[in-house]
A and B are shown apart, each in its own frame.
Chain A
């Protein structure tokens, strides 16, 4: 098994939010005790609905946001302090791509100039080498040098996301955080970008943290999938069978809510109520007010993430390992 590249241990992050102009400031626990290990060359998929803390987790892993507690280790070493030379060197090895490529690009610069920018910033190579690298990167994302002289406005959504990807790959990073990279794209273009990401990962041996609300896309690209609900991981396991055999009632509802062509909605689990506000996190298991199987214990005691069978871990009082189930 490959050694871990990114080790996240028990990170938490809360923001203070005021309700209204004179309201009392309340702490919003965006991420609450999340631990993850991403091995070299693997893709960890992070799924969850809005407010589940998946993007905040991504930002903390990249060092864009400091955790209140807990630690992130990259390649065996703790994250360097923001702004230092060591941090810059580490940052060149980890990059990020977001949902909105137009927002991530400067509309007034030709895209090739933007792909070259990380090379300029990190002082990599001579001017001629940088030009060569830009051409190589454009080819890697299946675009031509002719696309490079264009401005972002003259490219389609899928092409813009390829440019963002090319720029992220410029410094030859080991680790890439992708936050909803294909959500804004049409289905046919989405498939192109997903295939491209899979190919590049295989060619370059990239390690990915792939954040998305789309179960299908996450499964397609990930080795391991973690499901988040209100700042905590509720289930984690191999991408191959997590959605085929979801154990946590929330994962079961998510899978059931994912529409599939050729299947009518018979037997669908429709959860009652809205996703709760992260500022008013329910006591006990955060999911219990919406859970169809909740028992008294769920309202008072927070379930810990524990191994059930194989590599699956679930945070639910009602789900226990096969051994425990057989004994009962």
Chain B
């Protein structure tokens, strides 16, 4: 099966400072991929670059293909069909993505007119159907309301409705629940999962929350300092992380039950993109770093079906992990 999206060696630099340093990623139709990593790791930049949404001074190179068609450097008219149409995006702060002085109907209709070629009553009917679909009660009346009349969770539902207006094949959800309370987060994630299955839509879920990604995605890619360091099916990644950074992230998460243990914090901080270490970017913080780690950056190499790791000590750390498990 040919992939829906394939990204090859995607690189982004802002005024000469590289922030994305060669990302390779494929996404199948209908698949849910999670992207985790700390702030500045490049999770959002990857997709902003892919869709041509970065400011003009960003230098982007590599290749991003949607159904085989190259998106990087594509003419604006073509990108306009893709953005909001085949690929939709929702963000962390839904309130700032809506216009406060226009009704929800006007804003939904705008998206529908742009991507669906509907007009008149058909637009209104479709807008109502979308609000129903995302679980806004009393949709017909609520269409005439303004964004401030909705709660935070409802505004995110409206953003999802707008994203669905173009019948997208891929939804990129960038920290969609980070600003929401726990019980509302559970509602939104359930909604996303239901809609994804109903519409057979692929999803990229960008989050700093490992739990959110683990539960909602088939496959996870862990990013660090502008590169993917590990890629695996979610259940395998969380049961048996191989890259020391992925291990560190999971160890840093306090457990909700069972005995309390001291958290295994990763020492130090993320490197400054302007002063990236030679070799593996994680080596200065890595407990297992060897001399070779400071020489050249490891590339993402397969270690099993569907699994890839960028670590020269992948084999060693794997054995160390098995040793711990055997105790």
Which A residues form the contact surface with B (CB < 8 A)? 49-50, 156, 158-159, 186-192, 194-195, 198, 213, 215-217, 219-220, 239-240, 243-244, 253-265, 268, 270-271, 274-275, 290
Q: With A and B bound together, what is the CA distance between A255 and B193 in angstroms?
A: 20
Residues of A within 8 A of B263 (CB): 191, 194-195, 220
Q: Is the interface of A mostly helix, strand, loop or mixed?
A: helix
Which partner residue on chain A sits nearest B36 by CB separation? A187
B182 touches A258 (CB 8 A): yes
- Does any Cβ of A come within 8 Å of B80's Cβ? no
Of B209, B210, B266, the contact of A191 (CB 8 Å cutoff): B266
Q: With A and B bound together, what is the CA distance between A264 and B269 in angstroms?
A: 31
- Does any Cβ of A come within 8 Å of B200's Cβ? no
A-B contact pairs, 21 of them (CB 8 A): A49-B181, A187-B253, A188-B38, A191-B254, A192-B266, A194-B265, A213-B181, A215-B182, A215-B256, A219-B255, A243-B256, A243-B257, A244-B257, A256-B186, A260-B214, A260-B215, A261-B250, A262-B214, A265-B190, A271-B183, A274-B154
B182 touches A187 (CB 8 A): no
CB within 8 Å of A: which of B241-277?
248-258, 260, 262-267, 269-270
Residues of B within 8 A of A275 (CB): 181, 183-184
A261 touches B189 (CB 8 A): no
A187 touches B151 (CB 8 A): no
Which partner residue on chain A sits nearest B190 by CB separation? A270
Which partner residue on chain B sits nearest A194 by CB separation? B263
Which partner residue on chain A sits nearest B39 by CB separation? A186
Tell me how far the C-beta of B209 lies from the nearest C-beta in chain A, rounded to whole angstroms.
7
A191 touches B252 (CB 8 A): yes
A220 touches B238 (CB 8 A): no
A274 touches B265 (CB 8 A): no
**How many chain-B residues does the 8 Å CB contact rule pick out?**
47
Residues of B within 8 A of A49 (CB): 181-184
Which B residues form the contact surface with A (CB < 8 A)? 38-39, 151, 153-154, 181-187, 189-190, 193, 208-212, 214-216, 234-235, 238-239, 248-258, 260, 262-267, 269-270
Residues of B within 8 A of A256 (CB): 186
Which partner residue on chain A sits nearest B285 by CB separation? A188
Of B154, B183, B208, B267, the contact of A192 (CB 8 Å cutoff): B267
Q: With A and B bound together, what is the CA distance between A76 and B256 in angstroms?
A: 34
Q: A258-B211, A263-B214, A275-B181 are in contact. List 15 more A-B contacts (CB 8 A).
A: A188-B38, A188-B249, A188-B265, A191-B252, A191-B263, A194-B254, A219-B256, A220-B260, A253-B183, A259-B189, A259-B214, A263-B215, A264-B215, A265-B193, A275-B183
Q: With A and B bound together, what is the CA distance between A188 and B184 in angstroms?
A: 25
B210 touches A261 (CB 8 A): yes
A195 touches B262 (CB 8 A): yes
Q: With A and B bound together, what is the CA distance between A288 and B217 in angstroms?
A: 33
Q: With A and B bound together, what is the CA distance between A141 and B189 in angstroms?
A: 37
A259 touches B265 (CB 8 A): no
B260 touches A188 (CB 8 A): no
Which partner residue on chain B sits nearest A52 by CB separation? B181
Which partner residue on chain A sits nearest B150 by CB separation? A274
B209 touches A259 (CB 8 A): yes
